[in-house]
Amino acid sequence: MRLVDRVKRGVVSRLARAFERERVSSSPVTNFILHPGAAVLPEGSVENLTEDRANIEIGRSSYVRGRLLTYAHGGRIRIGEWCYIGVRSEIWSMDSIEIGNRVLISHNVNIHDGTAHSANAVERHEHFHTMITRGHPKSADELPGVHSAPVIIEDDVWISFGVTILRGVRIGAGSIIAAGATVVDDVPPGVVYRCNITPQIVPLK
């Protein structure tokens, strides 16, 4: 065996052992479903504001080093088997985000299935005021001007670093999303997707 191969195997072996130590030592799961062999590592976090543990599910042998968040008024995150969520990646749901099996999500990736705030300044301020004074709204009726649509990421997708994926998008199986891309439309299976939104200035409605 060549020296390079031995070094590679040694590095992979040490990384696997480190993941296993972190998985075993992690604190008990109370607000989400964690399947056997899966782990939320110390730099990762889960904020399930819906308070229904069934709304966040991490599949077998998947590792989360980013943040998963559901809004108080709704949201669902499903991660399949053998997935990886990188450091500083943010997956926020107020509708539904479905991630298939063997999906690799690099660092600094943002996946959001909602607009988070209204385009109307008055509604936006009221939403912020409510969060500060009474906590996160518990009903969609308290969020005028906020829109959402499901995000679906199929099996064997690789999402490179710095990608942003917005509401209503489906990414087909086996596709690669190139670093820094912004995804606002469906991506077919088995392609490399490179896209940065061209700057646009449009009037508010």
Find the domain containing 52 and state its range: 30-114+149-193
Write the DSSP symbol of residue 204: -
Residue 69 domain-assigned?
Answer: yes
Q: Which residue, among 117, 135, 116, 115, has the nearest Cα to 125 in the 3D structure?
A: 117
Whole-number pLDDT of residue 27: 45
List the CATH number of the domain containing 68: 2.160.10.10
Residue 189 domain-assigned?
Answer: yes
What residue ranges in the chain does DSSP mark as E strands? 33-34, 39-40, 45-48, 56-58, 63-64, 67-70, 77-79, 84-85, 90-93, 97-99, 104-105, 110-112, 151-153, 158-159, 164-165, 170-171, 176-177, 182-183, 192-193
Residue 98 domain-assigned?
Answer: yes
Residue 202 domain-assigned?
Answer: no
Whole-number pLDDT of residue 1: 56
Number of domains in the chain: 1
pLDDT at 205 over 70: no
Least confident of 7-16, 61-70, 141-150: 7-16
Whole-number pLDDT of residue 3: 61
Look at 181 and 141; give whichever has higher pLDDT. Answer: 181
Whole-number pLDDT of residue 130: 85
Whole-number pLDDT of residue 74: 92
Residue 123 domain-assigned?
Answer: no
Q: Which residue, among 188, 151, 146, 147, has the nearest Cα to 168 in the 3D structure?
A: 151
Percent of the chain with pLDDT over 70: 81
Q: Quick one: average pLDDT of 161-179?
A: 97
Report the first-to-last Cα separation within the chain, whole angstroms.
65
Distance CA 40, CA 138 (A): 26
Q: Quick one: average pLDDT of 149-158?
A: 98
Residue 199 domain-assigned?
Answer: no
The catalytic residue positions are 136
Render pLDDT for 74-90 as a digit per residue (tens, 0 to 9).
999 999 999 999 999 99
Residue 19 domain-assigned?
Answer: no
Residue 108 domain-assigned?
Answer: yes
For the chain, give the mean pLDDT. 87
